[in-house]
Amino acid sequence: MVVEPEHHREQAEPDRGGHEQRASQHVAGTARDVAGLRIFRRTGLLLAQGLSKEEIAKEIGQEIEGVRSSLEAVRLGQEYQVELPIIEQVHKVLYEGFHPHDAVRSLLERKSIAELI
């Protein structure tokens, strides 16, 4: 028979302050975050293969997060005359059929400028 040291038994007892519940909620939230990252990665890989946003949504079985907000980001950039090169390339890939490799190339070939914060 294995006997746990006393300090392990104390940790295993239910925490009266609700720490166990908060810890399990944190683990569940972390699992959702990881699943979300997997969807982002899969979306990126499918875009790189040339699939459209509609084909990807069908493939992963849900709407791709951020697609509609990219439209608003481009609109706001234009309205406030702010250059948003990454957002603009994302928009081209999602809405204009631009290949992701071409979008990356365009960003890398972009003339360096001083960015203001």
* Selection from 70, 63, 72 nearest residue 93 by Cα: 70
Task: List the beta strands (DSSP E) in the chain.
Answer: none
Q: Does 3 have pLDDT greater than 60?
A: no
CA atoms 62, 35, 97, 55: torsion sign? negative
- Domain-by-domain residue ranges, the chain? 18-108
Is residue 45 within 8 A of residue 28, CB to CB? The reply is: no
Query: Each residue of 45-100: pLDDT tens digit?
Result: 898 888 888 999 999 888 888 888 899 999 999 999 999 999 999 999 999 989 99
Query: Each residue of 30-57: pLDDT tens digit?
Result: 555 556 568 888 888 898 888 888 999 9
Fold of 18-108: N-(1-d-carboxylethyl)-l-norvaline Dehydrogenase; domain 2 (1.10.1040)
